[in-house]
Amino acid sequence: MQSIHLNYPIVEGKDSIATVPQVLAIGEFDGIHLGHQEVIKRALQTAKNMHIPASIMTFHPHPKEVLGQHKYTQLLTPANEKERILAGMGLDNSYLVAFDSEFMKVTPEQFVENMLIPMNVNTVIVGFDFTFGFRGAGTPDTLCELAAGRFAVEVIRPFLLNGSKVSSTLVREYLQSGQLEEANLLLGRPYTITGTVVTGDGRGRTIGFPTANIEMSESFVIPTLGVYAAKVIVDGEVHHAVMNVGKKPTFVEHLDKPTLEAHLFDFSRSIYGSSVTVEFISFLRPERKFGSVDELITQIRSDADRARTILAEKYS
């Protein structure tokens, strides 16, 4: 998959865009959940039927962040993570459009004339709730009107799971309320965070549970504070782990932001500086403050045993 960064407006002959007709899926696609996957699958199938490239257009930063909704500084799939997932889906091109205060003012008509037409789109695939242009004035119906006689538009219906509409908002709500399994169901895969192993305070080693302290590589949505069964991928190897996301209340009165600490089972190698991928598999319990270190050690031992069992049953 070729990754291409674009700014508005597209300048033909300057920007690296397909010179042949292409099918283009458009959206923010934060999380690339099951609903998003339906849009992408439709683009892939349409392109295959026509023997032309399948492409996707996303935006960075998240439009809602530019519009002042600060919770969108944290994403389910920040730019690099999104590209990693998209690269495995069979797309030919990924266009990342810079969403800034100028692009925010572009009208639906300008978006079509100065972005889509120069891209030589044959078919555009969007979700039912797709909006575009200044203040979200453009809808799928608007897109169909502007596309008439120039390119085709397909609108994908809502994707329902157990009667509920799958959405990035619902995934966020599940992650931040401890309903990890439900979030993973909507994503169609475990929720994932990537980062680098950094030096911690070494406390885990002194109590018999050495941990890899993980500094996130991008601004991910952080799941609710607590303990998780997880898989940690280091140098291509998958290791089962018990994971703590929290602020160490037993040891620290106040911590500005949560830390991510993973105790990898049956693992003793030093991995400082290594890039790791964490897959959150099961939420075990909320974070809490313990009355003593011994009480904490007893609980960690119980958490680790439970995580081992869950992961062994799921991946044996």
180: helix, strand or coil: helix
Q: Which of 165, 200, 230 is the last residue of a domain?
A: 165
Structural domain contains residue 173: no
Q: Are 63 and 99 in contact (CB under 8 A)?
A: yes
Q: Which of 165, 200, 223 is the last residue of a domain?
A: 165
The answer to whether residues 138 and 211 belong to one domain is no
The answer to whether residues 161 and 37 belong to one domain is yes
Structural domain contains residue 7: no
Phi, psi of 193 (to 5 degrees): -130, 140
The answer to whether residues 43 and 153 belong to one domain is yes
The answer to whether residues 246 and 139 belong to one domain is no
pLDDT of residue 196: 98
The answer to whether residues 200 and 286 belong to one domain is yes
Structural domain contains residue 182: no
Residues 6+ apart with CB under 8 A from 163: none
Query: If we measure between CA atoms, which residue out of 26, 282, 257 comes closest to residue 151?
Result: 26
pLDDT of residue 171: 98
CATH of the domain at 265: 2.40.30.30
pLDDT of residue 45: 99
Structural domain contains residue 171: no
Q: Which of 165, 182, 201 is the last residue of a domain?
A: 165
Structural domain contains residue 8: no
Structural domain contains residue 210: yes
pLDDT of residue 14: 65
Peptide bond into 249 cis (omega under 30): no
- The arrangement of strands across the sheet holding 93-98 comes to 2-6, 93-98, 54-60, 22-26, 121-127, 152-156
The answer to whether residues 29 and 157 belong to one domain is yes
Give the HSE-up count for residue 137: Cα atoms under 13 Å, Cβ half-sphere: 12
pLDDT of residue 62: 75
pLDDT of residue 244: 96
Cα–Cα distance, 284 to 181 (Å, whole number): 11
Residues 6+ apart with CB under 8 A from 44: 54, 89, 90, 91
Helices then strands, each counted (H, E), the chain: 9, 14
The answer to whether residues 140 and 234 belong to one domain is no
pLDDT of residue 11: 80
The answer to whether residues 147 and 23 belong to one domain is yes
For residue 307, what are the domain limits?
191-315
The answer to whether residues 157 and 34 belong to one domain is yes
The answer to whether residues 28 and 117 belong to one domain is yes
CATH of the domain at 126: 3.40.50.620
pLDDT of residue 101: 85
According to DSSP, the β-strands at 93-98 and 2-6 are: parallel
Phi, psi of 80 (to 5 degrees): -70, -40
Number of domains in the chain: 2
Structural domain contains residue 88: yes
Written as six digits, the tokens of 31 are 């999380």
Mean pLDDT by 10 residues, the chain (316 residues): 92 72 97 98 98 96 72 89 96 95 94 96 97 94 98 96 93 97 98 95 76 95 98 97 87 80 94 97 94 89 97 92
Q: Are 278 and 262 in contact (CB under 8 A)?
A: yes
Q: Beta-carbon neighbour count of residue 300 at 10 Å?
A: 20
Structural domain contains residue 141: yes
- Say how far residue 215 (Cα) sits from the centre of its chain: 17
The answer to whether residues 196 and 160 belong to one domain is no
Cα–Cα distance, 93 to 56 (Å, whole number): 6
- Give per-residue burial for 87-98: e unless 16+ CB within 10 Å, then b: eebebbbbbbbe
The answer to whether residues 207 and 142 belong to one domain is no
